[in-house]
A and B are shown apart, each in its own frame.
Chain A
Amino acid sequence: MIRLESVEVVFGRGGPDERRVLDRLTLAVPRGQYVSVIGSNGAGKTTLLNAVAGSVPLAAGRILIDGADQSRLPEWKRARYVGRVRQDPLAGTAGDMTVLDNLALASRKGPRRLRLAVPSRLRRELQDRLAELGMGLEDRLRENVNRLSGGQRQALTLLMASISRPSVLLLDEHTAALDPRNAELVSGLTRRFVAEYGLTALAVTHDMRRAIDEGDRLVMMHEGTVVADVSGDAKKSLTVERLVDLFRRTRGGDYAEDRDLLT
């Protein structure tokens, strides 16, 4: 369960270009919920994920993960509770290391010990997990990750982010850089991991259709705060048209400039 309380993030503080990217944002996500986050460019979606992960400092407010205030922890300490997949398939993995070493690195959070990284039992377990991806990676353990395709690499990144069962999984348009077939594959894996591992997920997307189809709840952001929050039956009956309508109302009619983003 994660809870953001009046979170503020300010870029260029005190300078001439000061910008309030998150503005008193409050959001509570119960354990096991899959939340899709949409909004136009500059709405603060990625900053929201950065704030939860600890990549940007908060100007005000606090963030609780499983009830404990994590707002002041550095990113690497908070990583114990956070799994993350970025848009760029290259971002989350070490390309010059093997598939097995990458997964072993991610399989345990916290300081490293002087202990064999991949004892044979762990190796078998990781191999089984890789087989679940259905991409044949279980037979390519010793290959460097930069030899994988974008889809394979993103699927591996997703597994790496999920395997330690973090308290929250952050997905930052993680299928946007993939071709439609791989995007569908990775989306399917995401649904499966979220369900199987009981993960709480915050998934940012530009794609309204996907936001409607996926997740238990849809949150719309605008100018750094939540402007719409739909879940349950209301979400099931959502359509792109109604979402556009909702969006238009929150923006007070200046919808035209965002036309391309919404379709």
Chain B
Amino acid sequence: MIEGVLVEGLVYGILALGVFISFRVLDFPDLTVEGSFPFGAAVGGALIVARVPPPLALGAAFLAGALAGAATSAVYHGLRVPPLLAGIVTMTGLYSVDLRVLGGKANLPLIAHNPVMRAAESWLGGGLDSSIQAFLAFLVVTGVLVLLLDLFFHTEAGIALGALGDNETSVVSAGVDPVRLRSVGICLSNGLAGLSGAFAASYQGFADANFGAGIVAAGLASVMIGEFLFRTNRIGGQLARVLLGSVLFRGIMYAGRSWGYLAGITPNDLRLLTAVLIVGSIAASRYKGGTRPGRSRA
């Protein structure tokens, strides 16, 4: 079921792209994704169940995530609290919002009507195995996303966003409002998380208020594994690296689930495995020498 791992890696790779933007580009450790991911899943899932056209539902999921980011940004800039606290506040509050969006339940099945996966599995006409078609479909979707983000990071706004996380002074000197710019970045990051959540709901066949649990760590692990793969200061390469890292991370998790029993690993140990992967990636990148891990960008 290797295609499943690939699809999963790409679906959650969108989330990892969001985590990359907040943690790496903005240098803003944002836990909001733990809330914006299930929020996007809930909004996207509820709209799909309500027979809203899938593109609209996915767009709404992105906006929902971006809205969550705006909330964090407002708390962070308005009250001058640390980023972690601002993110925790949003993610905690969003849980209740998710339950309301899901109609008072924690779980909303999409089995009966799952147009996104149906479209993905049949978009090549049905000549290939459906899971391979789904993989290719998501490869195209995430590939387009990476290209769009790459383009964005070559615009004036994108370059300023990169500089903001690196040295805020250089952005202020250019006559740019750092508060507004950072808000845009946080919204973009969480918008991607929301979109990823909606895709994940389709992929899993249900939206769940508990989708977010452990998702920041998973995203971070993906980013760090990607950074371990190859070095580049080009933003396009860094974005592609995140997707690869996500696929690899899901592969490792899959291996842990499938063959972990050989080493005494049960599914209950996967979180521990995630933590070890993060620490291992950091340690490995330190050991390889060079600058701060992953802190090179276009």
A108 to B159, CA, bound (A): 12
A144 to B174, CA, bound (A): 19
Interface stretch of the complex, out of A110-118, A206-214, A218-226, A249-257: A110-118
Q: Is B181 on the interface with A (CB-CB < 8 A)?
A: yes
- For A71-111 the 0/1 string (1 means CB < 8 A from B) is 00011110110111000001111111110011011101111
Known interface pairs A76-B178, A97-B162, A144-B296. Does A115 touch B173 (Cβ–Cβ under 8 Å)? no
Counting chain A residues whose Cβ lies within 8 A of the other chain, the interface size class is: 35 or more
Interface of B is mostly: helix
Query: CB-CB < 8 A to A96: which residues of B?
Result: 162, 166, 233, 291, 295-297
Known interface pairs A76-B178, A111-B176, A117-B156. Does A91 touch B298 (Cβ–Cβ under 8 Å)? no
Known interface pairs A79-B173, A102-B163. Does A97 touch B297 (Cβ–Cβ under 8 Å)? yes
Q: Let me know if B163 and A95 touch, CB within 8 A.
A: no
Q: Let me know if B162 and A101 touch, CB within 8 A.
A: yes
Query: CB-CB < 8 A to A112: which residues of B?
Result: 155-157, 159-160, 176, 181
Q: Let me know if A161 and B296 touch, CB within 8 A.
A: no
Q: Let me know if A75 and B155 touch, CB within 8 A.
A: no
Q: Let me know if A117 and B298 touch, CB within 8 A.
A: no
Q: Is B260 on the interface with A (CB-CB < 8 A)?
A: no
Q: Which residue of chain A is the closest to B181 with respect to CB atoms? A: A112
Query: CB-CB < 8 A to B177: which residues of A?
Result: 74, 76-77, 111
A102 to B171, CA, bound (A): 10
Q: Is B126 on the interface with A (CB-CB < 8 A)?
A: no
Q: Which residue of chain A is the closest to B177 with respect to CB atoms? A: A76
Q: Let me know if A113 and B157 touch, CB within 8 A.
A: yes
Complex partner residue of B173 from A74, A106, A114, A144, CB under 8 angstroms: A106
- For B142-185 the 0/1 string (1 means CB < 8 A from A) is 00000000001011111110110011011111111110010000
Give, as a whole number of angstroms, the nearest-CB distance from A214 to chain B: 23
Q: Let me know if A97 and B158 touch, CB within 8 A.
A: no
Q: Let me know if B155 and A114 touch, CB within 8 A.
A: yes
A101 to B166, CA, bound (A): 12
Query: CB-CB < 8 A to A142: which residues of B?
Result: 233
List B residues 207-258 near A (Cβ within 8 Å).
Answer: 233
Query: CB-CB < 8 A to B173: which residues of A?
Result: 79, 82-84, 92, 106, 160-161
Q: Let me know if B162 and A94 touch, CB within 8 A.
A: yes
A110 to B177, CA, bound (A): 8
Q: Let me know if B162 and A110 touch, CB within 8 A.
A: no
Q: Let me know if B298 and A97 touch, CB within 8 A.
A: yes
Q: Let me know if A97 and B163 touch, CB within 8 A.
A: yes
**Given A108-B156, A112-B176; 9 other pairs, CB 8 A cutoff:** A76-B172, A91-B169, A94-B166, A97-B159, A105-B163, A106-B173, A110-B174, A111-B177, A160-B170
Supply 30 A–B pairs (Cβ within 8 Å), ascending by A: A76-B172, A79-B175, A84-B173, A92-B169, A94-B162, A94-B167, A94-B170, A95-B166, A96-B166, A96-B233, A96-B291, A96-B296, A97-B166, A101-B159, A101-B162, A102-B163, A105-B163, A105-B171, A106-B174, A110-B175, A111-B176, A112-B156, A112-B157, A112-B176, A112-B181, A113-B155, A117-B158, A117-B159, A144-B233, A160-B173
